[in-house]
């Protein structure tokens, strides 16, 4: 995989309205479901068409809660708990 741009991360996410729904999706992914497939099926964000891929972004371009959670992950890691923002509940996977 190509090296990330300095100070930037790449992430995918699944956005849902309910905490319980987010927990259900996290559980299914941990059991082997494909993240991108789950994003296409369940996410309310337009990024769902790309399997939840948000591309590369730097600090200051996402809401603080989302950004903090994403930068805390290592590439390949996914949040174990839904991340609440004003948009709903996010399941975030850092991809680069």
Above 90 in pLDDT, residue 20? Answer: yes
pLDDT digits (tens, 9 = 90+) for 64-76: 999 999 999 999 9
Instruction: Provide CATH code, domain 9-94.
Output: 3.10.50.40
CA 72 – CA 38 distance, rounded (Å): 22
Residues facing 90 on adjacent strands: 15, 83
Instruction: Name the more confident of 44 and 5.
Output: 44
Average pLDDT over residues 38-44: 98
Of the candidates 3, 1, 23, the residue with the CA atom closest to the CA atom of residue 14? 23
Above 90 in pLDDT, residue 1? Answer: no
pLDDT digits (tens, 9 = 90+) for 47-70: 999 999 999 999 999 999 999 999
pLDDT digits (tens, 9 = 90+) for 74-88: 999 999 999 999 999
Average pLDDT over residues 12-33: 98
DSSP H helical ranges for the chain? 19-30, 35-42, 64-72
The whole model's pTM is what? 0.93
Map out the domains of the chain as residue ranges: 9-94
């Amino acid at each position: 995989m190509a090296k990330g741009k300095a100070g930037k991360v790449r992430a995918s996410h699944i956005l849902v309205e309910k905490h319980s729904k987010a927990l259900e999706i996290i559980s299914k992914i941990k059991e082997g479901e494909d993240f991108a497939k789950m994003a296409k099926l369940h996410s309310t964000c337009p990024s769902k068409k790309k399997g939840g891929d948000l591309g590369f972004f730097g600090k200051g371009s996402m809401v603080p809660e989302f950004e903090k959670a994403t930068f805390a992950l290592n590439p390949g890691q996914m949040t174990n708990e839904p991340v609440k923002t004003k948009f709903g509940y996010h399941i975030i996977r850092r991809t680069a």
